[in-house]
């Protein structure tokens, strides 16, 4: 991508977000009795206290994990939507280890998180294996596996890990050695943040600098070309989704061990779907995922604060999210300008009085 094209993508993303926010504004104006207050809560609420901003960072962590998981799978053009189930079942696997194992601190959460990741990769890997082996649509089977992961997970919690004395449908308390310590006091931001940052760097390097990552991107760009150039596409399709599932499972594990002392979810948390939005915003590039995750987390927390202090329910964020997905993924959105840009560049390169940079590009 040239610098101009990159700039174009930034402008396009910004415009899509702007349009979505205008839609949000219109909704608030229509719905609320005090739109000014609701709007300021929505846009500025996350900044009004240390705790609220902490909430944004807390939410950003799981979104980073599912965003990268989806990015890796979408990069190989695999529409595996199992990150949702992988995240959930990974969290349950980690809870199992956190409750039943006795291990020294630091080692305990590491074992739990790795186990969660393994189980997550299993759940995302099965649809991939079915696709590779028999050509069953990974889209449909991964959607089914989300429900299977959900109900199977609830079964494990309610029959093996449930604390009957707790009064609610929750698991036993995690052993204290398994908990991931809080990193920033007065918030619930745990050391998961460090893992998330490490993951961003690792995944970015993996996708951009290793041959495995290159193969994933190549298959996403042109699967037939990849096959003809001698790449075993089945292997790549399989490992891209196993890696994606692993990341989702690790994300779920870190979430429960870092934020809670028991397993308490009774519904799917929805972070897998949010990961789709994050991945689309970040153009499947792990390096951009934290920015997208921060943006989405900010929107969410803003909407939560708004719904607490005003008369607008927070679910309206879903409408903004949908609009952003459609506009950013829309290839004809601003396509005319892209055309003009490409045309200008091409003519510049063709003319002899081109800039040195363009001349270099022409030589290649």
Partner 1 sequence: MIQMLSIIFNAEFGYSVLRVTTPILFATLAALISDKAGVMNIALEGIMLISALSGVVFSALTGSAGLGLLGAIVAGGLVGLFLAYCALELKTDIILSGIAINLMASGGTVFALFLIAGDKGISSSLASKVLPKINIPGIASIPVIGTMLSGHNVLTYVALLSVIAVFIFLYRTPLGLRIRAVGENPGAAASVGIGVTRIQYLALTLSGMMAGFGGAYMSMGYVSWFSKNMTAGRGFIALAAEAMGGATPIGSLLTSLLFGFFDALSNTLQLMKVPSEFVNMIPYAATVIGLVIYTVRRTRRDRLAREASGERASATAK
Chain positions contacting partner 1, by CB under 8 A: 31, 79, 81, 130, 134-137, 139-141, 143-145, 147-148, 151-152, 154-155, 158-159, 273, 276-277, 280, 313, 315-319, 321-323, 325-327, 329-333, 335
User: Between residues 150 and 206, which has the closer beta carbon with respect to partner 1?
Assistant: 150
User: Between residues 79 and 214, which has the closer beta carbon with respect to partner 1?
Assistant: 79
Compute the least distance from the CB of residue 83 to partner 1, in Å: 12
Q: Residues near 211 by Cβ (< 8 Å), separated by ≥ 6? A: none
User: Between residues 336 and 363, which has the closer beta carbon with respect to partner 1?
Assistant: 336
Q: Residues near 322 by Cβ (< 8 Å), separated by ≥ 6? A: none
User: Between residues 196 and 280, which has the closer beta carbon with respect to partner 1?
Assistant: 280
User: Between residues 118 and 328, which has the closer beta carbon with respect to partner 1?
Assistant: 328
Compute the least distance from the CB of residue 255 to partner 1, in Å: 20
Q: How many CB atoms lie within 10 A of CB 76?
A: 27
d(CA 88, CA 79): 19
Extract the tokens encoding 136.
Answer: 């069953």
Compute the least distance from the CB of residue 131 to partner 1, in Å: 9
Backbone φ and ψ for 269, nearest 5 degrees, come out as -70, -15
Extract the tokens encoding 247.
Answer: 């990341």
Helix-helix angle 233-259:192-209, to 10 degrees? 170
Compute the least distance from the CB of residue 314 to partner 1, in Å: 9
User: Between residues 101 and 152, which has the closer beta carbon with respect to partner 1?
Assistant: 152
d(CA 42, CA 19): 16
Backbone φ and ψ for 171, nearest 5 degrees, come out as -85, 175
Compute the least distance from the CB of residue 320 to partner 1, in Å: 9
Compute the least distance from the CB of residue 284 to partner 1, in Å: 12
Tell the residue number behind the tokens 């934020």, with chain if given: 259
């Amino acid at each position: 991508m040239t610098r101009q094209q990159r700039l174009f993508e930034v402008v396009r993303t910004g415009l899509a977000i702007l349009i979505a926010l205008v839609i949000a504004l219109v909704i608030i104006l229509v719905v609320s009795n005090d739109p000014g207050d609701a709007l300021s809560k929505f846009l500025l609420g996350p900044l009004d206290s240390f705790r609220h901003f902490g909430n944004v960072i807390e939410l950003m962590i799981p979104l980073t994990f599912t965003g990268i998981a989806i990015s890796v799978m979408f990069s190989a053009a695999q529409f595996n939507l199992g990150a949702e189930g992988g995240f959930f079942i990974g969290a349950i696997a980690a809870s199992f280890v956190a409750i039943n194992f006795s291990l020294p601190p630091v080692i305990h959460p590491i074992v739990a998180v790795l186990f969660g990741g393994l189980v997550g990769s299993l759940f995302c890997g099965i649809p991939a294996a079915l696709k590779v082996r028999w050509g069953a649509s990974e889209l449909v089977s991964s959607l089914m596996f989300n429900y299977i992961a959900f109900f199977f997970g609830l079964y494990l919690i309610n029959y093996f890990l449930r604390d009957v004395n707790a009064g609610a449908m929750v698991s036993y308390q995690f052993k204290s050695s398994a908990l991931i310590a809080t990193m920033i006091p007065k918030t619930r931001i745990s050391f998961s943040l460090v893992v998330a940052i490490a993951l961003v760097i690792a995944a970015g390097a993996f996708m951009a600098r290793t041959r495995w990552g290159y193969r994933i991107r190549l298959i996403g760009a042109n699967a037939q070309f990849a096959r003809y150039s001698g790449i075993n596409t089945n292997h790549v399709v399989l490992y891209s989704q196993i890696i994606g599932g692993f990341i989702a499972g690790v994300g779920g594990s870190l979430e429960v061990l870092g934020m809670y002392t028991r397993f308490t979810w009774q519904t799917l948390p929805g972070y897998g779907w949010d990961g789709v939005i994050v991945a689309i915003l970040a153009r499947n590039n792990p390096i951009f995922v934290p920015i997208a995750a921060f943006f989405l987390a900010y929107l969410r927390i803003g909407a939560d604060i708004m719904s607490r202090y005003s008369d607008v329910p927070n679910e309206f964020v879903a409408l903004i999210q949908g609009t952003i997905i459609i506009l950013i993924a829309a290839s004809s959105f601003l396509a005319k300008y892209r055309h003009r840009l490409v045309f200008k560049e091409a003519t510049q390169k063709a003319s002899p009085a081109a800039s040195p940079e363009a001349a270099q590009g022409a030589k290649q």
